[in-house]
Amino acid sequence: MKQEKVIILGAGGQIGTELTMELRKIYGHSQVIATDIRDASDEVKNSGPFEIVDVMDTAKLNELMKLYKVTQVYHLVALLSATAEKNPKFGWDLNMGSLFSVMDLCLENGVSKLFWPSSIAVFGPTTPKANVPQHTVVEPTTVYGVSKYAGELWCDYYFRKKGLDVRSIRYPGLIGYKSIPGGGTTDYAVDIFYEAKKHQKYSCFLEADTRLPMMYMTDAIHATLQLMDAPADQLSIRTAYNINGLDFTPAELAAAIKKHIPSFEISYAPDFRQQIANSWPGSINGDLAAKDWGWKPAFNLEAMVSEMLENTKVPILTA
């Protein structure tokens, strides 16, 4: 087993919940310190060290990093797209401020690797809509997208100027059954499974034909671990890697669910999140991630839907 001490900031969130458990399998349960500003799942809390910490509390974070002699950091804390639009200043302060302090703490504490997630939200209305290449027009129109793109550039800067081995991925919308997303524009693609199983119907906050890049959580976790494991000299990107996964519209997802639950019906009531979704591309080209560190997604739409329907914990009502 590798001798690393890993700290996860935001371990109670959508990615953190699953990533913590995978990292504990790899490095040993006591070697992976889960932290969050609030409670995390019982599984996360009971399977290894867990600490409550606000990522903006630099002094406390520094203390923890020293106490545990941390060698790797996963900084997953962020305000997602929809929530950040409601509170732009706080979204910027949290997303950017925490990245700065975590990068500086990594340097101060001799951390060997930092993972920080970026997002397809870095793209904007002037980006091509389909099969978006790694290098393209990037003019985000959401606070979240602006903070993620600025963050990517700062990651690259810290790598070049200060030698910090920071690695990042532009995650698409992530779909999993172990944790619920909060405040994102792609959250409908998780909510729909709960409603399909509970009520066999779902009112979607995006229009039927809104195509967005998505990914099953198992693939996203795999990508993250694969990138973090890759030899540093193989990585040509120090902003954030595009990765390809699924892409579908709410209507296509509903049709795939209907194959399992024939009575399922979707309706549409677009809200402010439609505008955010409209500014994003529909599909992503991940060729460079494939070339540099062997990225390849395993889940297609059908496989993802089957796993979600099987595992989402809600009893199916029988009429």
Active-site residue list: 144
Q: Which is nearer to ligand SER, 49 or 140 (CB)?
A: 140
Amino acid sitting at position 140: P
Cβ-contact 148, 199 below 8 angstroms: no
Q: Which is nearer to ligand SER, 28 or 270 (CB)?
A: 270
Alpha helices (H) in 38-182, listed in sequence order? 42-46, 58-68, 81-86, 88-108, 143-162
Cβ-contact 103, 63 below 8 angstroms: no
Closest to 44 in 3D by CA, of 53, 32, 55: 32
Q: Closest approach of Cβ 215 to ligand SER, in Å?
A: 10
Q: Which is nearer to ligand SER, 13 or 48 (CB)?
A: 13
Q: Closest approach of Cβ 185 to ligand SER, in Å?
A: 4
Q: Closest approach of Cβ 2 to ligand SER, in Å?
A: 29
Q: Closest approach of Cβ 124 to ligand SER, in Å?
A: 13
89: helix, strand or coil: helix
Q: Which is nearer to ligand SER, 193 or 264 (CB)?
A: 193
Q: Which is nearer to ligand SER, 133 or 182 (CB)?
A: 182
Q: Which is nearer to ligand SER, 33 or 215 (CB)?
A: 215
Report DSSP state, residue 120.
G
Q: Closest approach of Cβ 227 to ligand SER, in Å?
A: 17
Q: Closest approach of Cβ 281 to ligand SER, in Å?
A: 12
Q: Which two tokens stand for residue 10?
A: 């935001």
242: helix, strand or coil: strand
Report DSSP state, residue 212.
E
Binding site for ligand SER (CB under 6 A): 80-81, 119-121, 144, 171, 173, 184-186
Closest to 198 in 3D by CA, of 310, 309, 313, 314: 314
> Distances in Å between the alpha carbon of 215 and those of 33, 58, 78, 242, 261?
26, 32, 19, 12, 22
Which residues lie closer than 8 Å to 160 by C-beta, 6 or more apart? 238
Closest residue by beta carbon to ligand SER: 184
Q: Please tell me the distance from the alpha carbon of residue 288 to that of residue 270, in angstroms, as a whole number.
A: 34
